[in-house]
Amino acid sequence: MLKADYIITENRSIADGVYLMTLRGDTSAIKKAGQFADVAIEGYFLRRPLAVTEWDAEKFSMVYKVVGEGTAKMALMKEGQSLNVLTGLGNGWNAEAASSAALVVCGGIGASPCFSLVKDLVGRGVKTTVVLGYNRACDIILEQEYRALGAEVIVATMDGSRGIKGLVTDAIAQEKPEFDYFYTCGPKPMMKAVCDALADASGEVSLEERMGCGCGICYGCTCHTTEGARRVCADGPVFRKEEVIW
Amino acid sequence: MVKEDKLKVSLCSLELKNPVIPASGTFGFGLEMAGTYDLNVLGGISLKGSTLEPRFGNPCPRIAETPGGMINAVGLQNPGVEVLVTEKVPALRKIYGGCIIANISGFSIEEYVKTCSRSAQCPDIDIIEVNISCPNVHGGGMAFGTSPEAAAQVTAAVKAACPSKPVFIKLSPNVSDIVAIARACEDAGADGLTLVNTLLGMRIDIRRRRPVIANKYGGFSGRAIFPLALSMVNQVAHAVSIPVMGCGGVSSAQDVVEMMMAGATAVQVGAENLVNPMVCKEIVEQLPALMESLGITDIKDIIGIV
């Protein structure tokens, strides 16, 4: 974990209520795809835990959704402003678990923490299919970026305005992508449906919970798992699907 | 420049290298932070509240934000006193030489006694801090901290079971006369007092028309409660002759000085750890320069001067 100040180099809307912020600064604590950052926003007591979408040696980016006052204030911030952020939080994905073909199922803002995972997978030569599930075409994020990484992308929308009409599980049933391991992040009912539909496969999920510290010291985000009580922030957010008690 | 040994304070017979202590429940068992910085900069560490049996605690959401603070209803999640004394504390002692404070909760006097005496057997535990002020569990905790008689009963029973260790009683601010409760604890044999624990608080999600916290109410803490905590520390410290650890909304080196001027011998930092996990270390580092600027040569000199 590292606490440092970062300079905003980019903060723009990429879909309805969804923003991409890029921060320049020390990224040495970010080790694995699927980790998150905890952002201090002036005027708000607690930090906002947000998934890291992508990072390199000089900067990292977060695709985030405005869900309350704190993220609304964040969305108004401008290039050149500074933010204090804790980085290197959470366990991250086990990208090595997929051997030759991976399935990555994302719902909504869940497309954000999967991005670097797919980059890793494709980089290792793992054939990767990304299923993106949204309500409407205008909600879709990162589709072109996922394609640019070299992943096969399947889109599902509830209203049928783009891709397959229906749920991500409908898209998986219809397209039958090949995979030996799956990863999923999105709303809990979606992840449960994915795990149920892929009951015979191995995979992992990234959970979300209201957090206090984000770094494992307050026990504010503990969930029941088959392995016992686990902190989503420090023991997770990624859990093997067998560990999750829905 | 103020020398490092001018930060030393004495709590009962223990010497702390400085008065800064992360408060129970805001720093895990210390071990969680061991990879982030060298814990030996801390005067003491108050460990996560422990009970006789393991507890999962309350369902999530356990956390809500407030202006200048937060509400928590973790509900004393802990692995039980046996794991505390056989695993957590010995592991912490390997990497930490300062004052280790075990924070103990219970649901009956018998349970407080059992849990505290088990902790007292652990040679690496320096102080037993008895939590009679947790607002987040039903049928116990705070119930013992809201009347002078009940507080005295717990204190006397625990002290009788732990004659060899300093016993601090952690008091609740959710009372009409904290001085009466503090005096009752002192009269019953307490070696010191920690105050204050959290205030009972609530937030409502107005869109969903229900409490933000699953447990409905929780403990309100953070910068917003500092003036309240300070006034209680000031009243109590001047009414008793045992040492007081000041707690509640402390977020800076300035706050530590203020708490000590109000009468605290040591100062616990709570919710601020959740905002800035490095804050205790930063406060310790900032204290000498602050003391210098205020003309304080030895931090002990300011205890209770206001």
Where a domain ends, among A89, A112, A147?
A89
The mean pLDDT of B88-101, rounded to a whole number, is 98
% residues pLDDT > 90 (chain A)? 100
Asked whether residue A151 falls in the same domain as residue A193, the answer is yes
Residue B182's pLDDT band, with cuts at 50, 70 and 90, is very high
The reply to whether residue A220 touches residue B273, judged by beta carbons under 8 angstroms, is no
CATH number at residue A27: 2.40.30.10
The domain of A14 spans: 2-89
- Residue from B31, B103, B273, B275 whose CB has the most chain A CBs within 10 Å, to mutate: B275
Asked whether residue A84 falls in the same domain as residue A107, the answer is no
pLDDT at A242 over 70: yes
Contact B16, B44 (CB under 8 A): yes
Instruction: Give the integer Cα–Cα distance in Å for A142 and A99.
Output: 24
Residues of B labelled catalytic: 134
* Residues ≥6 apart with Cβ < 8 Å to A220: A210, A211, A212, A213, B60, B62, B63, B72, B74, B274
Q: Which two tokens stand for residue B277?
A: 């996990």
Please, what is the angle between helix B178-187 and helix B226-237, to 10°?
40
The reply to whether residue A212 touches residue B63, judged by beta carbons under 8 angstroms, is yes
Higher pLDDT, A163 or B136: A163
pLDDT for B137: 67
- Per the document, the length of chain A is 246
Q: The complex's ipTM? A: 0.94
Chain A residues with beta carbon closer than 8 angstroms to that of B222: 45
Min Cα separation A23/chain B (Å): 19
Instruction: Give the integer Cα–Cα distance in Å for A51 and A64.
Output: 8
Chain B residues with beta carbon closer than 8 angstroms to that of A235: none
Residue B54's pLDDT band, with cuts at 50, 70 and 90, is very high
Interface of A with B in 59-88 (CB under 8 A): 86
The total number of structural domains in chain A stands at 3
The reply to whether residue B56 touches residue A229, judged by beta carbons under 8 angstroms, is yes
Write the burial class of residue B125 (CB in 10 Å: 0-12 exposed, 13-18 middle, 19+ buried). buried
Q: Count H helices and E strands in chain A, helices first.
A: 5, 16
Contact B189, B181 (CB under 8 A): no
* From A132-136, B21-25, B29-33, B138-142, the region with the lowest mean pLDDT: B138-142
Where a domain ends, among A59, A89, A119?
A89
Q: Which two tokens stand for residue B253?
A: 């080196």
The reply to whether residue A220 touches residue B66, judged by beta carbons under 8 angstroms, is no
Domains in chain B: ranges and CATH: 4-302 (3.20.20.70)
Chain A residues with beta carbon closer than 8 angstroms to that of B64: 210
Number of neighbours of residue B282 by Cβ within 10 angstroms: 17
Residue B219's pLDDT band, with cuts at 50, 70 and 90, is very high
CATH number at residue A219: 2.10.240.10
Asked whether residue A101 falls in the same domain as residue A192, the answer is yes
Burial state string for A43-54 with b = 16 or more CB within 10 A and e = fewer than 16: ebbbbbbbbbbb
Asked whether residue A25 falls in the same domain as residue A77, the answer is yes
The reply to whether residue B62 touches residue A224, judged by beta carbons under 8 angstroms, is no
Q: Which residue has the tokens 């952002």?
A: A39
Q: Which of A26, A24, A49 has its CA nearest to residue A37? A: A49
Instruction: Give the integer Cα–Cα distance in Å for B173 and B187.
Output: 19
Burial state string for B87-97 with b = 16 or more CB within 10 A and e = fewer than 16: ebbeebbeebe
pLDDT per residue over B246-299, tens digit each?
999 999 999 999 999 999 999 999 999 999 999 999 999 999 999 999 999 999
Asked whether residue A171 falls in the same domain as residue A141, the answer is yes
pLDDT per residue over A34-79, tens digit each?
999 999 999 999 999 999 999 999 999 999 999 999 999 999 999 9
Please, what is the angle between helix B253-262 and helix B226-237, to 10°?
30
Dihedral sign from CA coordinates of B148, B151, B156, B159:
negative
Please, what is the angle between helix A188-197 and helix A168-175, to 10°?
30
Compute the count of residue pairs across chains A and B with CB atoms less than 8 Å apart: 92
Is pTM, for the whole model, over 0.90? yes
List strand residue ranges (DSSP E) for A73-161, in order.
82-89, 101-107, 127-134, 152-157
Where a domain ends, among A89, A105, A135?
A89
Query: Bridge partners of B150?
Result: none
Q: Which residue has the tokens 């800035």?
A: B276
Interface of A with B in 167-226 (CB under 8 A): 209-213, 215-224
Write the burial class of residue B195 (CB in 10 Å: 0-12 exposed, 13-18 middle, 19+ buried). buried
* Residues ≥6 apart with Cβ < 8 Å to A238: A34, A90, A91, A92, A93, A94, A204, A205, A206, A207
* Residue among B32, B68, B77 minimizing CB distance to A217: B32
Residue B79's pLDDT band, with cuts at 50, 70 and 90, is very high
pLDDT per residue over B149-180, tens digit each?
999 999 999 999 999 999 999 999 999 999 99
* Residues ≥6 apart with Cβ < 8 Å to A157: A133, A134, A135, A136, A137, A139, A140, A163, A164, A165
Asked whether residue A63 falls in the same domain as residue A115, the answer is no
Higher pLDDT, B3 or A67: A67
CATH number at residue A121: 3.40.50.80
Asked whether residue A213 falls in the same domain as residue A238, the answer is yes
Contact B56, B193 (CB under 8 A): no
pLDDT at B139 over 90: no
Which 8-state DSSP code applies to residue B78? B
Q: Which chain A residue has the Cα nearest residue B275?
A: A46
Residue B133's pLDDT band, with cuts at 50, 70 and 90, is confident
pLDDT for A209: 95
Min Cα separation B223/chain A (Å): 9
Chain B residues with beta carbon closer than 8 angstroms to that of A1: 35-36, 277
The mean pLDDT of A75-94, rounded to a whole number, is 98
Min Cα separation B82/chain A (Å): 17
* Residues ≥6 apart with Cβ < 8 Å to A146: A111, A115, A118, A130, A132, A153
One-letter amino acid identity for B245? M
Min Cα separation B65/chain A (Å): 7
Number of neighbours of residue B205 by Cβ within 10 angstroms: 12
Asked whether residue A195 falls in the same domain as residue A109, the answer is yes
Cα B215 to Cα A58, A246, B200, distances in angstroms: 43, 20, 12
Min Cα separation B139/chain A (Å): 21
pLDDT for B134: 74
pLDDT at B70 over 90: yes
Asked whether residue A11 falls in the same domain as residue A99, the answer is no
Write the burial class of residue A59 (CB in 10 Å: 0-12 exposed, 13-18 middle, 19+ buried). middle
pLDDT for B3: 82
Chain B residues with beta carbon closer than 8 angstroms to that of A218: 25-26, 28, 63, 72, 74, 273-274
Asked whether residue A240 falls in the same domain as residue A159, the answer is no
% residues pLDDT > 90 (chain B)? 94
Instruction: Give the integer Cα–Cα distance in Å for B130 and B132.
Output: 6
Asked whether residue A99 falls in the same domain as residue A193, the answer is yes
Chain B residues with beta carbon closer than 8 angstroms to that of A216: 28, 32
Instruction: Give the integer Cα–Cα distance in Å for B249 and B238.
Output: 20
Query: Bridge partners of A117?
Result: none
Contact A225, A244 (CB under 8 A): yes
Contact B124, B89 (CB under 8 A): yes
Asked whether residue A115 falls in the same domain as residue A176, the answer is yes
